[in-house]
Amino acid sequence: MLVLSRKTGETIQIGNNVTITVLGVQGGVVKIGINAPRDVRILRGELAKWDVSLPREISAAETQQAVAV
């Protein structure tokens, strides 16, 4: 995992088509804006785990459960 520090107004570029901008930080909440082509699907992490159309990584805990069965 790449960990970056950014200030309000600063950006992160992913590939040629996706830009993430830090819009603000207030308390423990970070507000971000994502600029990406319409065909790039963007979901919050808690929703992505329920989306069967997306491949997902299997966590170490899930791997251990599968081995135990």
Alpha helices, DSSP H, located in 1-69 = 45-48, 60-68
> Which tens digit of pLDDT belongs to each residue from 5-18?
999 999 999 999 99
Kindly calculate the radius of gyration of the chain based on its CA atoms and give it in whole angstroms.
16
* Mean pLDDT value of segment 27-44: 91
Residue 60 has pLDDT above 80, yes or no: no
Is pTM, for the whole model, over 0.75?
A: no
Dist CA 36 CA 45 (whole Å): 17
CB 17 within 8 A of CB 42: no
Question: How does residue 56 score in pLDDT terms, banded at 50, 70 and 90?
Answer: low
Range name among 41-45, 53-57, 62-66 with the lowest pLDDT average? 62-66
